[in-house]
Structure 1
């Protein structure tokens, strides 16, 4: 899969199920600000506010078809109103999620004909220990065994073996962070009293409080090493990331392997 930009969890999950670029569906980061409503989206808050999830999804469209029934387990979005749905639960085993999904497909009265399930690994291990760590190698092996479990379950069920189409994908990739002993702090380059910042460490959306300060803020941000700063209207078209009000006045994009952080005393930037 080729991820949309920015390559973060919630934006790409919403693209997967809507087929829309982030500048269209509006989920432009895991942490974002909506200047129209003055609301802030974070993965732990506002998840049940349907204003963040306004577009039809593959499972809702399937439900509109005659006899169409969808089932979703653990997708990182709330709330989902379809025939069969169970929310994300980190304490639930991945095998249990698979068993539940297959039960829905095999329901003798109201079987589903579309299902989606989400596993938070190996993403979590990659964030914790890096994508090239021994822990990551072990987790990828465990995920491979989990996929084998699912395939075995399908192969032993004649109905599923003959009729089920299986798609395995991811929401984004991952790269090892360089210079962790010498982190890049946003406050070292710009006066934080002149801006509000949101996003994930590789892609930061900057809202400048006064339009008179945009040029000087851009000049200062352009000094950040291993990064490129753009005014919204100058963001390259290939990113499909400039035609939405939730995208900042300035966007700072880091090179692979680098990220921008806030000093620990700053709390308005969420590292995800």
Structure 2
């Protein structure tokens, strides 16, 4: 891979993911408080005010506020003239006749109603008011209880957001380690040097890398074998998941999915879409098991997978030099100290594509990256972190110079087919409705050049692990060029060297170095498939629960990790 495979606009935040993903920010539960319907209480109050005063009148003897006409009755005067005069011996101030007395009695009842009704209404009004207040308190108490319960119950379920290289975690709670995890387990840093061929370490210009394994200080493989096709994105994701590309979904740096009619390009925003990524990369496994994880440009980290993203996470790719990348990674180790850190360095791959494998520019890039790693190791040592850190340095594939070109445009009309990925050195051809059929495409291209083999999908050799009938992204027609040959499809070929060929070729092999408190030193020469790396990560991180199925073995883990009895 030679240039940036992330768009500058691809920094995400999950949410989605939850889609998947996520983006990025976490959502907070919100609760709405509904207004109490006071009009309902008012209507009840009015109904309760309709008191039957006749009922109360039956209890008038026990009501101190109830009066009858007897309270006003006086002894009448014997003289009729004294009835209204208010004078005379033994006469009352008020002398009433029978009619007047009856009127007074009726009036007294009116006065009684005036006294009783307000008293009864006040009592009921107070009772209703008390009931209303109790109802309001009950509603408020219930609402507050729900808020508290939901905040507590969802606290640990918040998605890890897609973040930039922020120094703070966006999750408000610390993950709970599983029973198998020990806080004393050293942290793990995995550094990929893109395009670093296995024999580049023999050029005598990488003293810092060699110091990590010389004198039985660490482990060094003769080579690591990539997956087919030996391209950057497929193999970084195989290193991360332990799966063949046909099972993890990333079958090329560019690809087409006919079921969704979508295109993927490592230079485009599609890299942030979790739709493309199958399987479970190691950073998701770490996060699921209560550990922390960080990524710097590692392919696949740009999308929220299963709703998880590393943090910190540099997702917007640029051709950043190794010194700057590792300078930032060192600051992460000082400040956040993630349990797992995945790092991608592009310097060597860029030089190889642009100038060829034997160029001085490749040697300069190798020396530059080696120096950056040496500075990183020194900084880790000075900070007292190196003794509690396992470091793996590896590469996704090798590199070979282009020695010949195969022009297929003279054999087939390119407008009649759909190319599902980059042409060199792998052809992925889909038929177009109404144009050439699969058989017609095969007949036109098969045998046109001795250094290009055309396969129907079902006939792709088993060792390529590239013919799954359940993966529609693998095209019906696959073309594979021999080592060193490029395929011309109408687009100019400017590279001096490339990769993607059959992994059996030694020029496609990569490097592997292991150094740290849990890494054995002085091992006999060994090599392995890159799908074995996943179980090595989980072993070094002491993750033993809820592990996904992979295409790898435990060979590398058993070989490289020290037993408890080893010093």
TM superposition score normalised by structure 1: 0.88
How far apart, in 2, do the equivalents of 1:58 and 1:169 lie?
15
Alignment of 1:130-141 (within 5 A): 130-141=356-367
Give the one of 168, 177, 190 matched to 2:393: 168
How far apart, in 2, do the equivalents of 1:176 and 1:5 lie?
18
Deviation of 1:193 after TM superposition, in Å, equals 3.3
In the alignment, which residue of structure 2 is the partner of 1:50? Answer: 274
Deviations 1:15-60 (Å, cap 9, x if unpaired)? 1111111000111111111000001111222122110124321011
Establish whether residue 61 from structure 1 lines up as the match of residue 289 from structure 2: no
Deviation of 1:61 after TM superposition, in Å, equals 1.0
Which blocks of at least 5 consecutive residues in structure 2 are unaligned? 1-223, 493-497, 500-567
Superposition CA RMSD, Å: 2.1
| Contact residue 429 and residue 475 of structure 2 kept, 8 A | yes
In the alignment, which residue of structure 2 is the partner of 1:268? Answer: none
How far apart, in 2, do the equivalents of 1:89 and 1:7 lie?
21
Q: Does the residue aligned with 2:253 lie in a helix, a strand or coil?
A: coil
Establish whether residue 214 from structure 1 lines up as the match of residue 438 from structure 2: yes
In the alignment, which residue of structure 2 is the partner of 1:83? Answer: 311
**Which stretches of structure 1, 4 residues or more, deviate above 4 A after TM superposition?**
none
User: Rg bigger for which structure?
Assistant: 2
Alignment of 1:54-133 (within 5 A): 54-66=278-290, 68-77=291-300, 78-80=302-304, 81-90=309-318, 92-107=320-335, 110-133=336-359
Q: Does the residue aligned with 1:248 lie in a helix, a strand or coil?
A: coil
In the alignment, which residue of structure 2 is the partner of 1:245? Answer: 472
Deviation of 1:239 after TM superposition, in Å, equals 0.6
How far apart, in 1, do the equivalents of 2:382 and 2:348 lie?
27
Deviation of 1:65 after TM superposition, in Å, equals 1.9
| Contact residue 34 and residue 246 of structure 1 kept, 8 A | yes
Structure 1 residues 26, 238: closer, same or farther in 2, change over 3 A?
A: same
Aligned length, in residue pairs: 260
| Contact residue 322 and residue 369 of structure 2 kept, 8 A | no
Which blocks of at least 5 consecutive residues in structure 1 are unaligned? 266-270
Deviation of 1:216 after TM superposition, in Å, equals 3.1
How far apart, in 2, do the equivalents of 1:218 and 1:86 lie?
43
How far apart, in 2, do the equivalents of 1:202 and 1:94 lie?
28
How far apart, in 2, do the equivalents of 1:163 and 1:248 lie?
46
TM superposition score normalised by structure 2: 0.44
In the alignment, which residue of structure 2 is the partner of 1:184? Answer: 406
Deviates more, 1:88-97 or 1:195-204: 88-97
